[in-house]
Amino acid sequence: MSFAPGQSPTRVILEQPGGWSRWSGRLAWIIAGISLVVAVVSAGANAQYFQTNPKVIEQYHSLAETAPNKIAIIDISGAIMGGEGFARHQIDQVEKDETVQAIVLRIDSPGGTVSGSDELHYRLTKLAADRDLPVVVSMGGIAASGGYYIAMASGGRENTIFAEPSTVTGSIGVIIPHYDLSQFLKRFDITDDSFTSGPLKEMLSLTKDRSPELAQRERKVIQGLVDAMFTRFKTIVQEGRPELDNETLEKVTTGQVFTAQQAVDFGLVDKIGFLEDAVDRAVELAGLSSATARVVRYQQPQGLLDELLGGQPAAQSLTSLQTLVEWTTPRAWYLCSWWPAIAASHP
């Protein structure tokens, strides 16, 4: 086609009938809006399934996997060194989770420090009271001394402490370990010549050569501390097992360990059963059923370095000097062990 000089070509624009391009743009925005609303609603409805605590990993354990109401298993495992470890993180997780309706306290511990045992017992009983949560105890291989102390967080409810047939429990008492190496050091002409602000500052020292009078004075002071802590232990047992009479209480607080059946006979334990039995009781106390309860358990996150170190937390493995100082610090223990100084806690 030819054009006259100065004449521009004519453009022809074809449009689809009905203005489809205009409506297709609107439809895209409508679909995007609906998708956003659905995503927000879904996230809100399933928020409980997302991991929000970097110190605790929640995992499904048993019963109804999609049920909104939870039974939380809190594990107390190994020697109890303090109240700030993984056990505390689990308690904090339950405290923040409003969907938890009951706690199963799984104990496999020989006990530990007086302060650590007492703090965990306090936090568990406070959590149970603040949230009105039933606490059911499931004892593993050993739940002795401080481990039994913590079990008293069940609060004296009927049929809330279960021990496996092979469980060892009891050992209700206090020990402050002390070893005298002063005579051994004398063989090598080594003398502890420490400067102190008073004669009792070196109580429980391994190396101090004491006069008989000073040794007797120290023993009296330390025994007074042990007796006071022991009195508190018995008070905690009375609160957790109110059906025990005074005569039975004296029989079971000699420091002796008991088999599961002996513990049942004395009233220290309610029933012989496994973790599943404790879970069933917790479900019952929470007013739920196997179809409406989801049992969850917690794990401690581990990184690559933890795996290379054999599964132990890297921070714990890399602070051996701090741990050594911790172990050699004189402490009172609710512990069932011949050598409290080398007991180690683990997740």
Q: What angle do CA 305, 309, 314 make, to 5 degrees?
A: 55
Q: Please state, in angstroms and rounded to a whole number, the distance separating the CA atoms of residues 124 and 106.
A: 13
Helices (H), 17-82: 20-45
Residue 100: burial class (beta carbons within 10 Å; 0-12, 13-18, 19+): buried
Examine the residue annotation and report whether 208 is marked as an active-site residue of this protein.
no
Residue 44 — pLDDT band, cuts 50, 70, 90?
very low
Q: What is the mean pLDDT of the chain?
A: 83
Residue of 55, 96, 186, 201 marked catalytic: 201
- Does the pLDDT of residue 61 top 70, yes or no? yes
For the question of residue 201 being annotated catalytic, the response is yes
Tokens coding 41:
């609603």
Helices vs. strands in the chain: H and E counts, helices first? 12, 11
Decide if pLDDT at 326 tops 60: no
CB 271 within 8 Å of CB 264: yes
Contact status, residue 168 vs residue 110, Cβ threshold 8 Å: no
Q: Any idea how long the chain is?
A: 347
Q: How far apart are CA 114 and CA 127, in angstroms?
A: 20
**pLDDT tens sequence across 303-312:** 544 545 455 5
The strand ranges marked E within 237-292 are 257-259, 271-272
In a domain, 142, yes or no: yes
Q: Distance (Å, rounded) from C-alpha 121 to C-alpha 150?
A: 5
Do residues 345 and 81 make contact, with C-beta atoms less than 8 angstroms apart? yes
Q: What is the reported pLDDT for 257?
A: 95
Q: pLDDT of 95-139, one tens digit each?
A: 999 999 999 999 999 999 999 999 999 999 999 999 999 999 999
In a domain, 141, yes or no: yes
Indicate which CATH number applies to the domain containing 304: 3.90.226.10
pLDDT of 11 > 60? The answer is no
Q: Domain of 151?
A: 59-172+237-342
Q: What is the mean pLDDT of residues 26-35?
A: 66
As a whole number of angstroms, the distance between CA 78 and CA 15 comes to: 78
DSSP character at residue 239? H
Query: What pLDDT shows up at residue 168?
Result: 95
Q: Predicted confidence band at 339 (pLDDT cuts at 50, 70, 90)?
A: low
Q: Under 8 Å CB-to-CB from 55, ≥6 apart: which residues?
A: 86, 89, 300, 301
Task: Enter the DSSP assignment of 273.
Answer: -
The verdict on residue 103 lying in a domain is yes
Position 301 scores a pLDDT of: 85
pTM of the model: 0.77
pLDDT (0 to 100) of residue 266: 97
Residue among 109, 115, 117, 145 flagged as catalytic: 145
Q: Rounded to the nearest 5°, which phi and psi values hold at 10?
A: -90, 130
**192 pLDDT higher than 90:** no
**What is the domain count for the chain?**
1
In this predicted structure, what is the pLDDT of residue 216?
A: 95
Instruction: Please enumerate in sequence order all residues whose Cβ is within 8 A of that of 148, keeping only pairs 6 or more positions apart, or say none.
Output: 111, 169, 170, 171, 172, 237, 268
Give residue 346's pLDDT.
40
**% of the chain with per-residue pLDDT over 70:** 72
Distance in angstroms between the alpha carbons of the first and the last residue of the chain? 87
Provide the pLDDT confidence category of residue 315 given band limits of 50, 70 and 90. Answer: very low
Confirm whether 53 is domain-assigned.
no
146 pLDDT band, cuts 50/70/90, is: very high
